Amino acid sequence: MAKGLIERQILPEYQTLLAFWKNEYYPKTVKSTSASDLPDGKAYYRALIKRYTTLDMSPEDIHAFGLAEVAKIHQEMLDTMAAAKFEGDFPAFLKFMRTDPQFYPKTEEELIDAASYMMKEFDDKADRYFGYMPRGHFGIRAVPAETAPYVPAGFGGIDGFNINTYDLPSRPLYGLGALTLHEAAPGHSWAGLIALEHSGLPAFRRQNIAGYSEGWALYCERLGDEMGMYHTPYEKFGMLMRQSYRASRLVVDTGLHAMGWTREQVQQYMYENTALSEYNIEEETDRYISMPGQALAYYLGMTSILKERKHAEEVLGKKFNLRAFHDSVLETGPVPLPVLEEHLEAWIKGGGIGPYPEMEK
């Protein structure tokens, strides 16, 4: 009965849909991967930059900044390669990191167990870097198998840290520390709980603003080095790899949508400048094509936070309190980056006193 129903009613509808796809829809789809080739495309892309980063920057300025940052991080990667005592050039080191079995989990349980340990290691150190601790809790779970092939390596929120265990040869353990800091704590899950617990914030300031939220999470990856969360040169290289591909996004997103780059140019640039697997590079490239501007938020957001921290350290000197700085960043909830900078400038002028002075000792 079910087979007959499928043959009589369902298959004919799919055949009609297939004919529409082949004859009507697909022939009229755009062939370009650039947002600038859409109607009013250049203005559209500029508006997307403002939407995701909350900054008024031109594609050309972002592209140039990205190239400079990739070069700077590349030198850090070379220094880390030397610390690992690797004998060979940079391409050989990237191949080694992409292919050596020691860097890849054998089972889903190994990947989840390693991330869980890192979350508890952060818990042990958190009170040295933060005054306010979220009262809520979050856990860790594997991404459902049905969606795992189509989502990133991990994503975090107030409901927990979701880690992708699909295609284990593309999930390097040396990048897991930075991923956990970004997605779980003190990144998205941690910051999201704090935003919810600040009852004085209006609802719209507890929602995601990419420049703030992703900038903070990427800052947390850098903070992990300061916290001693990376125990081998390979784990530090994993953090730098993630920094590099976020900086690379400034280059390839603007390249795609403002400078006429092809899909192949994007993939080649990322293959030469990051240690991402070919699978990850293809996945990332499709993301930049389908979401113009979104990938710019991460590195530009982190840059804004780092700039304010440097200014605070210069102005406050020995009075600078890192816990108070972090608390002040997180107390606003997600806000546009110019608003965050204004808030932190006021905090600096006020002497760098955190929102929870009883915790500053």
Grade residue 360 by pLDDT with cuts at 50, 70 and 90. very low
pLDDT at 4: 84
pLDDT at 280: 83
Q: Which amino acid is at 271?
A: Y
Q: Range with the lowest mean pLDDT among 33-42, 147-156, 247-256?
A: 147-156
What does the mean pLDDT of the chain come to?
Answer: 93
> Which is higher by pLDDT, 218 or 29?
218
- Tens of pLDDT, residue by residue over 64-100, are 999 999 999 999 999 999 999 999 999 999 999 989 9
- Tens of pLDDT, residue by residue over 248-301, are 999 999 999 999 999 999 999 998 888 787 888 998 999 999 999 999 999 999
pLDDT at 205 over 80: no
pLDDT, mean of residues 225-252: 96
pLDDT at 355 over 80: no
Distance CA 356, CA 56 (A): 33
DSSP calls for 132-160: ---SS---EEEPPTTTGGGS-SEEEETTE
pLDDT at 86: 96
* Strands, sheet with 140-142, edge to edge from the N-terminal-most edge strand: 140-142, 160-163, 154-157
pLDDT at 313: 98
Q: How large a percentage of the chain has pLDDT more than 70?
A: 97
Whether the predicted model's global pTM rises above the 0.85 cut: yes
Distance CA 150, CA 152 (A): 7
pLDDT, mean of residues 327-351: 95
- Tens of pLDDT, residue by residue over 136-146, are 999 999 999 99
pLDDT at 208: 78
> Which is higher by pLDDT, 327 or 196?
327
Q: How large a percentage of the chain has pLDDT more than 90?
A: 82
pLDDT at 201: 72
Contacts of 150 (CB under 8 A, 6+ apart): none
> Which is higher by pLDDT, 360 or 228?
228
Tokens of 72: 């700077």
pLDDT, mean of residues 204-220: 89
- Tens of pLDDT, residue by residue over 303-316, are 999 999 999 999 99
pLDDT, mean of residues 43-49: 98
Please give the helix or strand (H or E) that residue 40 lies within, else none: none
pLDDT, mean of residues 324-350: 96
- Tens of pLDDT, residue by residue over 88-137, are 999 999 999 989 999 999 999 999 999 999 999 999 999 999 999 999 99
296: closest CA among 335, 350, 347, 257?
257
Answer yes or no: are the C-beta atoms of 160 and 140 closer than 8 Å: yes
Half-sphere exposure (Cβ direction) of 215: Cα atoms closer than 13 Å: 30
Grade residue 325 by pLDDT with cuts at 50, 70 and 90. very high
pLDDT at 359 over 50: no
pLDDT at 252: 98
